[in-house]
Chains A and B, each alone.
Chain A
Amino acid sequence: MGFYEDSKFQTDPAYERYHEEEFETFAKAGTWLTGEERTAIARQARYARCRAGVQEAMDGETRKPADDVLPRALLDVVTQIAVAPKDIERSFFERTLAAEISDAEYVETVGVVARLANLDVFARGIGVAMRPLREPVDGEPSFERPDTAMDEGAWVPTLPSDESGGAAAKALYGGGMMPFVYRALSLVPAEAARVINGGNIQYLPLNKFFDFSYSHHPSLSRPQVETVAGRVSALNECFY
């Protein structure tokens, strides 16, 4: 049975596999957060998006997480990223660190919220209900921090894609140069890997970016793809 079996529209099996895997990653322990915490983050993100009216509510999927799973500061981070990423300033990030959320926990949280927004916007687009979140899976985070992550101009250290990124960068990027948006979460390589993978499947393979005659989507030309991308980013007031 397909992941979007209830859709009137035929979805690419590659999207279905990727999206199903994404939901599985939310339920499992990550690098700094447990499966219970990651699931609570996803639940709070959905709750906030439904309350803001940018996602249709759905029984069982829009309840708040239990009060004792996430600290208040992290709940605020989730809500802000889920609903109004355009209003995030460096001072907001610094206040989060002052509330004893580590930079790596912040990065992992950004990854979960952003990746869930991807899936929920897609579902909304094709007119189906949000896919249910999985129940959390027991397990311990890996607590692995790449020691070659450094200040590249973002608010958090990132792994450079040149030689200075070392073995961790090579493992994550495969030896190629990466745009900053794909390096952004690399303090938590598992989150960055999911974003890179998603971009390759859903937008286009990175090595095709500068081939402007190429479209990864048989039903849309590249300018049509970029029209949708550009409008979404404009509404999100994303300078990048």
Chain B
Amino acid sequence: MALRASAELRGYKVKIRAIIDPSEGIGIPDGDLLLAFASTVIGTDAEALANARNALVKRLGDDALVAPSVIAGNFSRNDRVADAIGIPMEADFLNKSQDFREDFGINRFLSARNTPAR
């Protein structure tokens, strides 16, 4: 929801599906690099992470690495909290993601069961 709202505010034609399948291109400046970094920083391929890190720094500079790292860490924590406690999604957020959740397979995540109203 926040991705779409913030992107539309800037006039970007964001493709939310790229969050699930980054090969599609997300329509956000430098989104390809950010998606590659986010994919590898929580993955198992250390070499791919090093490449993603280097590419990000080369294009955007040193400062651009710290922020994605702290965001990846923050959401690694939030996701664990949400999934381990079985919290349901709030109705407002649920309504605003209804149009793409089914198409993108998000409703089939195991943790979707924690939101009976989906």
Contacts and interface: CB of A to CB of B under 8 A. Distances in A.
Do A and B interact? yes
Interface of A: 8-12, 15, 52-54, 56, 80-81, 85-90, 93, 107, 110-111, 113-115, 117-122, 124-127, 153-156, 158, 179-181, 183-185, 195, 198-199, 202-203, 209, 212-213, 217-240
Contact of B81 (A114, A126, A230): A114
A230 B72 CA distance: 9
A237 to B, nearest CB: 4
A12 to B, nearest CB: 7
A9 B71 contact: no
Nearest to A89: B110
Interface string B29-54: 11100110111011110100110010
Contact of B77 (A114, A155, A222): A114
B6 to A, nearest CB: 4
Interface of B: 2-3, 5-7, 9-10, 12, 14, 16, 19-20, 22, 26, 28-31, 34-35, 37-39, 41-44, 46, 49-50, 53, 60-90, 106-107, 109-115, 118
B9 A212 contact: yes
A54 B2 contact: no
Q: Which interface residue of B14, B20, B71, B85 has the most chain A CB atoms within 10 A?
A: B85
A153 to B, nearest CB: 5
Nearest to B62: A9
Q: Is the interface of A mostly helix, strand, loop or mixed?
A: helix
Given A115-B77, A154-B87, A86 B110 contact: yes
A54 B29 CA distance: 28
B37 A110 contact: no
B82 A240 contact: yes
A121 B84 CA distance: 18
A219 B42 contact: no
Given A125-B72, A219-B61, A225-B71, A179 B90 contact: yes
Contact of B41 (A89, A115, A121): A121
Given A121-B73, A126-B65, A234-B19, A227 B83 contact: no
A213 B9 contact: yes
B62 to A, nearest CB: 5
Contact of B35 (A12, A220, A231): A231
A85 B80 CA distance: 6
B76 A118 contact: yes
Nearest to B74: A202
A229 B79 CA distance: 10
By Cβ-Cβ distance, the 10 closest A-B pairs, closest first, are: A125-B69, A118-B77, A122-B73, A226-B3, A155-B86, A114-B80, A231-B38, A240-B82, A238-B79, A53-B44
Contacts of A53: 44
Given A110-B85, A180-B88, A232-B76, A86 B34 contact: no
A89 to B, nearest CB: 6
A154 B86 CA distance: 5
Contacts of B46: 56
B38 A227 contact: yes
A154 B88 CA distance: 7
A9 B66 contact: yes
Q: Which interface residue of A88, A121, A221, A234 has the most chain B CB atoms within 10 A?
A: A234
